[in-house]
Amino acid sequence: MGTPDSRRFLPENGETRAENSRPRVLQPAAGSWPAEAGVHYFRPVREDEICRMIAKVSGLVNLSDVAMSLASNLICRVAFGRRYDEDEFEKMSGWLDKVSGLLGRLRKNCKELDVFYEQLIDEHLDPARQKPAGRQDIIDLMIQLKDQNASSLDLSWDHIKALLMNLFVAGTDTVAAAVVWAMTGLMLNPAVMKKAQTEIRQFIGEKGQVDDDDIRNLPYLKAVVLETLRLYPPAPLLFRTQILDEDCVLDGYKIKPGTSVIINGWAIGRDPETWQDPEEFQPERFMTSNGGVVDVSAKTGEFEMIPFGGGRRGCPGMGMGLISAELALANLLYSFDWALPAAAPGSNVIDTDALPGLTTHKKNPLLLVATTPT
């Protein structure tokens, strides 16, 4: 596998490594990546983690913690092949807070993550390691691509660890934030919550759990998630670099090659020229005349909302992120009725204040009371 120095995620000077200023796409060679190694490949993991989450919900619930625990264990099982206990989860949550927060904390945090990813790769290279139920995780697949030289990019250990960083941070933070903001929007709009719960409970009946196959038959639920992503995008700002060999003219402004551009996705999703009543939580805007739901790719393709970016550099995890948020929300709404906790007057009002960071998390934890519907 090489020496530790050859796999260093963060160089000694703390600078990020860039072999080429142009972005390059990792594209597996034909036949080298299992066809099923996509959203559906990890369905058993997703449904098992949702079931574990529901089993832990009772009475007064800190939904912010529940959502983060779900998203963290989900992405860790998909990418790393294992779950984490409470102590490990608290440490990992601390890493997420630092990565998503102030840049001054970044260097020490990246070195800690480098050691973490180093250990994960070593575990996967151990010949004695037993894969859970014979199922490959993403580290297995990346090592396979590297060993077989089966991608459009000459994969290094740095590349693999950088991809793991993307999966861990982007996959955990954004899914958790989307679930919390969706529940926030629903609590602020009881009629919308009632409509979503009615749709889910009428379709699922006494089955006991919403699974992947059910989601396609729940258009209003899907519209609720899309409206959440429009009004409360987990990643409100997008970073891009002008990579053309000549100036790019946009609205009369010349943007030179190499210029870094920050795109305000939050403002795009609330643009009154595109959206009617943009500050209102109205999932109906995503419903079609025949009772279906608008394809999110149509909205992102027109750049009316960009929760997953757009174009060639759109988020490759869009499918996984959407089904994870939809499945989590559907089961929370199916399994429980939700209310604000009894507290001192004025202290139980739900706010929409957000924390600063790369991902927009709710500033104050979402505390709700869950009861089993009768």
Per the model's pLDDT, the better-predicted residue between 321 and 34 turns out to be 321
Q: What is the pLDDT of residues 127-166, one digit of tens each?
A: 887 766 656 777 888 888 888 876 666 788 888 888 877 7
Burial class (CB within 10 angstroms; exposed 0-12, middle 13-18, buried 19+) of 46? buried
Domain ranges of the chain: 41-371
pLDDT at 273: 93
pLDDT score, position 8: 39
Q: d(Cα 208, Cα 196) in Å, to the nearest integer?
A: 17
Which residues lie closer than 8 Å to 355 by C-beta, 6 or more apart? Answer: 361, 362, 363
Average pLDDT of the residues of the chain: 79
Under the banding of pLDDT at 50, 70 and 90, the label for residue 38 is low
pLDDT, average across residues 196-201: 97
The pLDDT > 70 percentage for the chain reads 76
Q: How far is CA 56 from the centre of its chain?
A: 21
Buried b / exposed e along 163-194 (16+ C-beta atoms within 10 A):
bbbebbbbbbbbbbbbbbbbbbbbbebeebbe
Question: Band of the pLDDT at 244, cuts 50, 70, 90?
Answer: confident
Confidence of residue 346 (pLDDT cuts 50, 70, 90): low
Higher pLDDT, 278 or 32: 278
Q: Is 315 annotated as a binding residue?
A: yes
Compute the 3-state secondary structure of the chain and give helix, strand, coil in percent, each to the nearest 5.
50, 10, 40
- The third-level CATH classification (topology) of the domain covering 41-371 is Cytochrome p450 (1.10.630)
pTM attached to this predicted model: 0.78
Q: Examine the pLDDT at 16 and tell me if it is beyond 80.
A: no
> What digits encode the pLDDT tens for the residues 256-280?
888 888 889 999 999 999 999 999 9
Residue 3: band (very low, low, confident or very high) from pLDDT cuts 50, 70, 90 = very low
Residue 30: per-residue pLDDT: 43
Q: Helix or strand or coil: residue 322?
A: helix
> In the prediction, which pLDDT does 282 show?
96
